[in-house]
Structure 1
């Protein structure tokens, strides 16, 4: 159940975690199909005042293996960053933090439930590890992108 911290306290519920920030994007499918994470992640990181290296975990929805590889490459590309108006690339993903539980290819991605699965799974994994922050990203409908930074205290 998603609710404000205030409401959770009123109901005497312990939050599983918090949404620290988010970013959504849309791009042309004929140009950058399934690259939504590369467009939405800089927004979420900027809103959180964080960098990629600050994150405990990173979970990227795997529509297809090649889609993930393309986004991983774009994250570290100065040329792609410049096309977004950024002064530098988001950064190289530490693979020890990346899709540590497998990802959507391993777990499946039921339409309309992928985001819920990813968020719940990351919050539980952060709790298991004693807290931290996680970036969850997904592409959808070819040109949409979503990124959310989760936090567990």
Structure 2
């Protein structure tokens, strides 16, 4: 449960034609700190990629310098009704402030749901 980003991230990156190293920012919804750490571990796991996702290689390592640079959901008090809008808006503003690039926004929800979106700003 709450590991949806480990499944949705490789799909979003594949559809965008990008890899983890192409990203300027990564904003992962933090339902709980342990959930975030587990998703980060799975994204970098070759075994998870092969045995669970059926992919040849891991999605990639998460660069700490790009990850939740403005804090994340825990830092903002985990505002359920505003989480998606906050994450998308903050990521786009931070990308523009940095001169553009690609941002990955991921979220999880109870029941095994996961979402990932690649954003681009100039």
Residue 4 of structure 1 corresponds to none
Could you tell me which runs of 5 or more consecutive residues in structure 2 were left unpaired when the two chains were aligned. none
How far is the alpha carbon of 1:73 from its aligned partner? 0.3
Residue 22 of structure 1 corresponds to none
Residue 108 of structure 2 corresponds to 139
Counterpart selection for 1:76 from 44, 54, 57: 44
Residue 21 of structure 2 corresponds to 53
- Within 2, Cα distance between the matches of 1:63 and 1:119? 16
Query: Which residues in structure 2 correspond to 1:1-150 (within 5 Å)?
Result: 33-82=1-50, 83-150=52-119
Deviations, residues 7-63 of structure 1 (Å, cap 9, x unaligned): xxxxxxxxxxxxxxxxxxxxxxxxxx1100000001100000100000000010000
- Within 1, Cα distance between the matches of 2:22 and 2:31? 25
- Within 2, Cα distance between the matches of 1:113 and 1:41? 21
- Within 2, Cα distance between the matches of 1:134 and 1:50? 11
Deviations, residues 61-101 of structure 1 (Å, cap 9, x unaligned): 00000000000000010111011011000111110000001
**What is the aligned-residue RMSD (CA, Å)?**
0.8
- Runs of 4+ residues deviating >6 angstroms: none
Could you tell me which runs of 5 or more consecutive residues in structure 1 were left unpaired when the two chains were aligned. 1-32
**TM-score, normalised with respect to structure 1:** 0.77
**TM-score, normalised with respect to structure 2:** 0.96
How far is the alpha carbon of 1:109 from its aligned partner? 2.4
The size of the alignment, in residue pairs, is 121
